[in-house]
Chain A
Amino acid sequence: MLSSAIGTVKGPGETLHEYNFIAPDPDRQLKHGEFVYYTAPVDGSERRILGRITDRAAVKLFPDTFLADPSVPPHTVAAMLGYESNATELFEITVTVLGYYDECLYDFTNPRVPPQGGAPVFIAEDDMLTDLLSRGRQGELGSAYIGDLLSRDPGAVPVALEVRGFTSTHLAIIASTGSGKSYLAGVLLEELMMPYNRASVLVIDPHGEYDTLQQVQNMESFRDLGYSPKVRIFRPQDLRVRISSLTLPDLRYLLTNLSEKMHYQLGRAYRYAQRTWGEDKYTLEQLLRAVREVGDGAQSEDEAADDDPTTGALIWRLGAALGGSGIFHDFENLELDELFQPGMCTLVQLNEVEPRQQQVIVAALLRRVYQARIDTERGKIQRGERNHVPFPVFCLLEEAHNFAPANADAVSSDQLKIILSEGRKFGVGVGLISQRPGRLDSDVLSQCMTQCIMRITNPIDQNRIAESVESVGRDMLKELPALSKGQVIVSGASVNTPLMLRVRTRRTEHGGEDINAPAQWRHWFENEQPAQAAENALFAEKELERDEDGMLWA
Chain B
Amino acid sequence: MTDQIGVIVNSNSHIDYVCQLHGPLEREQRPPPDAYAFGSFVAISLPPFPATFQDTGQSPTAYAPCLIGVVYNSMLVNPNFSNLGPRLSSQYEQTVFSPDLLDETATLVGVLALGWQDSAGPQQGTPRLAAEVGATVRRLTGEEVKQFHRDARGQLSLRYAAAILALNNSLVPALLLDIIDRLGTFFPQEQAILQVMRDNVAWKSIVQPAG
By a beta-carbon cutoff of 8 Å, the part of chain A in contact with chain B is 63, 65-66, 68-69, 71-72, 76-77, 79-82
Contacts and interface: CB of A to CB of B under 8 A. Distances in A.
Contacts of A82: 124-125, 157-159, 162
A80 B195 contact: no
Contact of B192 (A63, A65, A66, A72): A72
Secondary structure call for the B interface: helix
Contacts, number: 43
Contacts of A72: 192-193, 195-196
Interface stretch (B79-87, B102-110, B197-205): B197-205
A79 B155 CA distance: 9
Interface string B152-176: 0001111101100000000000000
Contacts of A79: 155
B152 to A, nearest CB: 11
Nearest to B197: A77
B197 A81 contact: yes
A109 B53 CA distance: 80
A80 B162 contact: no
Interface string B116-130: 000000001100000
B30 to A, nearest CB: 37
A80 B157 contact: yes
B195 A65 contact: no
Contact of A65 (B158, B159, B203): B203
User: Interface size for chain B: under 10, 10 to 19, 20 to 34, or 35 or more residues?
Assistant: 20 to 34
A76 B161 CA distance: 15
A71 B193 CA distance: 9
Contacts of A69: 192, 195-196
A469 B192 CA distance: 54
A68 B199 contact: yes
Interface of B: 124-125, 155-159, 161-162, 190, 192-197, 199-200, 203-204
A76 B187 CA distance: 15
A77 B162 CA distance: 12
Q: Which 7 A-B pairs have the closest CB atoms?
A: A82-B159, A65-B200, A72-B192, A80-B158, A77-B196, A72-B196, A69-B196
B179 to A, nearest CB: 12
A289 to B, nearest CB: 91
A81 B180 CA distance: 12
A77 B193 CA distance: 6
Contacts of A68: 196, 199-200
A80 B199 contact: no
B193 A80 contact: yes
Contact of A71 (B158, B159, B192): B192
22 contacts: A65-B196, A65-B199, A65-B204, A68-B199, A69-B196, A72-B196, A76-B193, A77-B193, A77-B196, A77-B197, A79-B155, A80-B156, A80-B157, A80-B158, A80-B190, A81-B158, A81-B161, A81-B162, A81-B197, A82-B124, A82-B158, A82-B159
Give the residue among B156, B194, B196, B204 with the most A Cβ atoms within 10 A.
Answer: B196
Give the residue among B162, B190, B192, B193 with the most A Cβ atoms within 10 A.
Answer: B193
B132 to A, nearest CB: 28
A65 B201 CA distance: 9
Give the residue among A65, A77, A80 with the most B Cβ atoms within 10 A.
Answer: A80
Contacts of B158: 80-82
Contacts of A77: 193, 196-197
